[in-house]
Structures are given as C-alpha cells and as structure tokens.
C-alpha cells in the first residue's frame, strides 16, 4: 500500500517542480510572441494601404468616396478577425493592443461618409438641386403662365433657376427631371410641345414670342378649355407640332 501511494504522489502533475515546467512555459510564451509580432506587422501593412486609399479619395467623385469608405470598413472587420485569431485582447470591456488603430480606421470611415453627405447637401443647394426639387404647376389658367413657367418670368420668376425650364434643359438636359413620375414626365412633354408650337408660329410670322402667346390665349382658354393636352392636339391640327408627337387626350 505504501508503495502505491508513493507512486501516485510522484505521478501527480501538481507535484512537478518549477524547474521542470519552466521550459514548456517559455516555449509557449515565445510562440505567442512570434504570432503577435507577425500580426502587428500585417496590421501595419493594412494601415499603409488604407491610408493611401483615404489620401487618394480626397479628390474622388461621390461614388469613389463611398468605395474607399467601404474598403476602410472591410479592413476594420479584418482587424477584428485578426484580434480573435491571434488571441489578442482580454476579457469583456478590455481594449486589445491595436484598438487605437482600429478606432482610427473607423473614424476615417466616418469622416469619408460625412464628406460625401456634405457634398450631397451642397449639391442640393445649387441650381441642379433646385431644379430637381421643383414642383411643376399642374393646371394652367392661362397660356401666359405656361410661357412664364418655361422661361422663369413674372409669376414664375427665376423658378426653379434663372431662365426657368428653358435654362434647365439647356444646362442639365433631361437629368434634372429624371426622378419625376410618369405623369409629371408626360405633363412636361406636353408643355415642351406647346412651347415648340409657339416658337414655330413666332418664327413663321416673324413675331415676338410673347405676342404669339397673346394671339393664342383665347384658343387655350376658350377653344381648349384650359387643357394642356387639348392645346397640344389643337396645335397639331394647325401644323405647329408634328403629328407624330400627338398625345392621348386626358379624361
């Protein structure tokens, strides 16, 4: 019985001497040190790459800025994976050794997104933004108001920008009304056809544009019952607008 107890005591791992376990502890710590050194070296490479992206994105368009911000976000995620893979960091609430680096990437990402938002806000305040936000007059009581709205005069002075719809079409083509509804697009197309008819009559008769509006005012208010679609058809019958541009009469 005594022999068995002595053998048991010797084989008990708790009873190993400090000198016996130190080599293993040292080996384990050395391995962890090498892994962490390799990890931090990789982090430096990521940092240099992302810093370059951030610098280059300063003069980029909105779309490219978003792409750069996405790269930063991806790198931040990779850093999080790196921390878990290397076993870096302590318990809950304890910052890992590279947390400041991760924070700097996240702040850069936030700055890029804020810059893009600021650019959008600036665009909304320029002429293009004003044109996009403009609401078309749905019903016109006079041919004059169609003329005014198109050229940004009188009751529509400088709306949506100086020069009215004519200037919007000249500068922005159709892009300023790209988000209009189908009904608004059809309405605008009819307004444009009426203006073309007025221009053609003015050129044909050698008259001033506004003088032509005065001549056709009664045709719009009385014959066409103040209906834009009916006015378009009326102009077609007068050969002021090509038949191919005919639009169905609204009910």
Report pLDDT digits (tens) over 139-189: 999 999 999 999 999 999 999 999 999 999 999 999 999 999 999 999 999
- pLDDT for 97 equals 44
**From CA 228, how far away is CA 220, in angstroms rounded?**
8
- pLDDT for 172 equals 95
Q: Is the pLDDT of residue 92 over 90?
A: no
Residue 138's closest CA among 228, 66, 63, 221? 228
Query: Please, what is the average pLDDT of the chain?
Result: 75
Residue 67's closest CA among 109, 26, 114, 118? 109
- The larger pLDDT score, comparing residue 151 to residue 32, is at 151
**From CA 250, how far away is CA 229, in angstroms rounded?**
7
pLDDT band at 224; cut points 50, 70, 90: very high
Q: Is the pLDDT of residue 190 over 70?
A: yes
Q: Is the pLDDT of residue 136 over 50?
A: yes
Cβ atoms 226, 139 nearer than 8 A: yes
198-203 average pLDDT score: 96
Could you give the angle at which helices 182-205 and 143-151 cross, rounded to 10 degrees?
Answer: 100
Q: How many residues does the chain have?
A: 251
Residue 183's closest CA among 243, 219, 139? 139
Min mean pLDDT across 62-71, 81-90, 146-155 is at 81-90
- pLDDT for 76 equals 57
Cβ atoms 103, 47 nearer than 8 A: no
Q: Is the pLDDT of residue 213 over 70?
A: yes
Distance (Å) of CA 55 to CA 59, 99, 210: 9, 22, 55
**From CA 31, how far away is CA 93, in angstroms rounded?**
26
196-204 average pLDDT score: 96
Residue spans of beta strands (DSSP E) within 61-107: none
Residues 6+ apart with CB under 8 A from 109: 69, 72, 73, 76
What would the two tokens of residue 114 be?
């804020």
Distance (Å) of CA 35 to CA 21, 149, 229: 22, 71, 76
Torsions phi, psi for 202 (to 5 deg): -65, -45
pLDDT band at 246; cut points 50, 70, 90: very low
Q: Is the pLDDT of residue 60 over 90?
A: no
69-81 average pLDDT score: 56
Q: What is the chain's percent helix, strand, coil content, to nearest 5?
A: 75, 0, 25
- pLDDT for 38 equals 77
- pLDDT for 91 equals 44
pLDDT band at 241; cut points 50, 70, 90: very high
């Amino acid at each position: 019985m005594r022999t068995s107890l002595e053998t048991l005591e010797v084989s008990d791992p708790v009873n190993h001497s400090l000198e016996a376990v130190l080599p293993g502890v040292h080996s384990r710590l050395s391995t962890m040190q090498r892994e962490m050194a390799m990890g931090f070296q990789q982090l430096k490479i990521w940092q240099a790459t992302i810093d370059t992206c951030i610098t280059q994105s300063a003069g980029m368009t909105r779309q490219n800025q978003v792409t750069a911000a996405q790269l930063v976000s991806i790198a931040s995620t990779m850093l999080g994976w790196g921390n878990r893979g290397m076993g870096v960091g302590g318990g809950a609430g304890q910052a890992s050794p590279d947390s400041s680096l991760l924070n700097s990437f996240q702040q850069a990402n936030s700055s890029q997104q804020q810059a893009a938002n600021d650019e959008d806000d600036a665009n909304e305040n320029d002429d293009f933004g004003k044109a996009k936000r403009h609401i078309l007059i749905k019903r016109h009581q006079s041919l004059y108001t169609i003329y005014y709205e198109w050229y940004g005069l009188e009751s529509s002075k400088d709306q949506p920008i100086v020069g009215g719809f004519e200037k919007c079409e000249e500068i922005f083509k159709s892009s300023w009304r790209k988000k209009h509804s189908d009904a608004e697009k059809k309405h605008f197309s009819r307004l444009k056809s009426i203006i073309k008819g007025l221009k053609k009559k003015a050129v044909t008769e050698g008259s001033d544009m506004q003088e032509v509006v005065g001549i056709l005012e009664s045709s719009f208010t009385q014959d066409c019952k103040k209906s834009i679609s009916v006015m378009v058809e009326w102009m077609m019958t007068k050969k002021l607008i090509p038949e191919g541009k005919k639009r169905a009469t609204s009910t």
